[in-house]
Amino acid sequence: MSVLAGFTDARAEVNGQTIAYSRAGDGPPVLLLHGFPQTRAMWHAIAPALAERFTVIAADLRGYGESSKPGSVQDYSFRNMAADQRALMVSLGFESFHLVGHDRGARTAHRLALDWEKAVHSLTLMDIVPTHFLLENLSREVASAYYHWFFLAQPSPFPETMIAQDTDWYFESCLTSWGAAELDDFDPEALYAYRQSWRWPDTIAGMCNDYRAAIQHDFAHDAADLGRRVPCPALVLYGADGVMAREYDVPASWAERLADMRARAMPGGHFFPELHGDETAEILVDFLSEQ
C-alpha cells in the first residue's frame, strides 16, 4: 500500500543515492518535497488533488523516510539534497518541472532553483524565510522557538543520544510546536509513516546532519548567492499563526531573492499543509494552472 492514496511507490538510484518517491497523475510534472521531521506522507491531502491535473512526484529527501542516509555532514547540504531531486526528475524524463517544498523541502527547493534555474518552471515555498536571512538576523525569540536548529546541529552523538531516549516524544513535540497544532490534528496514517521513519537511528543521525549542514555549509553557499533572484514565478505561503509570521515579515524576506513573487498567509501554524490540506491544494492548483 502506498504512503499516498492512489499513488505508486518506487525508488530511483540517482546521484549516488536511493531516493524513494510516489507517483500519480498525468500532465505537467510537479515535485513535492517534505520537511522535518516528516516524510513524503505529509502530502496525503494535497498530492491526490494535484494529481487530477498534474503528474505528481512526492519524494523523500536523503536522510528521511525510505531514502538513503549517507554518513557525513557535507552530504546533507541543501546543494547535495537538491542535486538528488533534480536527478530524480531527469531520470523520470522531466527536464523541467513545478517545484513545491515545505520547511527543509522548501530550503532544498530554493537551492535547486538557484543551482538549476532552467529546471524549475515555478517555485512554491512553504513557511520559511531564507536560510541565510534567518541565521544572519537571528533574534532571541526565534532562537528560543526554533531551538532545534542549534540542538540538532551539536556534534554527534550528543543530540542523537538524547533523542534516542524517547524518540516518539521528541519528534511529536516538534510536530506540536511552531504554532497551532495538536497531535490529534495529524492524519493517523501519516503519523504512522513518520514514526516508522524517525525510529531508525540512521534517520535520527541524518536529520541531525541536515541541521549541522545548514550552519557548516548552507550559510556559506547562500552567502555566495546574495543578490541573485530566482527568475521563475514563485509563491510564498506561510502559516498566519506560526513562528515565522510572528517574528518576520515573510514576504519581505523573499523580496530580493524571487523576481516574480506572490505571497499569502494561510490559516494555522507551520504545519498548515497537513492541517489545512484542502485549502492549500486549492491554492496550489490555481497557481500552478496559471503558469
Residue 184 is a catalytic residue? no
pTM of the model: 0.98
The candidate with the shortest Cα–Cα distance to 98, out of 118, 125, 122, is: 122
Q: Are 199 and 43 in contact (CB under 8 A)?
A: no
Model confidence over 153-163: pLDDT tens digits?
Answer: 999 999 999 99
Share of the chain above pLDDT 70, in %: 99
Dihedral sign of CA atoms 64, 226, 148, 276 in order: negative
| DSSP classification of residue 284 | H
Model confidence over 78-109: pLDDT tens digits?
Answer: 999 999 999 999 999 999 999 999 999 999 99
Q: Are 186 and 175 in contact (CB under 8 A)?
A: yes
Q: Are 122 and 287 in contact (CB under 8 A)?
A: yes
Residue 34 is a catalytic residue? no
Positions of E strands within 43-180: 55-59, 97-102, 120-126
- As assigned by CATH, the class of the 8-290 domain is alpha beta
Other CB atoms within a 10 A radius of the CB of residue 148 amount to 20
The residue with cell 528521511 is 64
Residue type, 287: F
Has residue 280 got a pLDDT over 90?
A: yes
Would you call the peptide bond into 37 cis, given omega within 30 degrees of 0 as the criterion?
A: yes
Residue 48: pLDDT band by 50, 70, 90 thresholds? Answer: very high
| Catalytic residue, candidates 102, 217, 270, 276 | 270
Distance CA 164, CA 148 (A): 15
Distance CA 210, CA 197 (A): 15
| Catalytic residue, candidates 60, 84, 103, 218 | 103
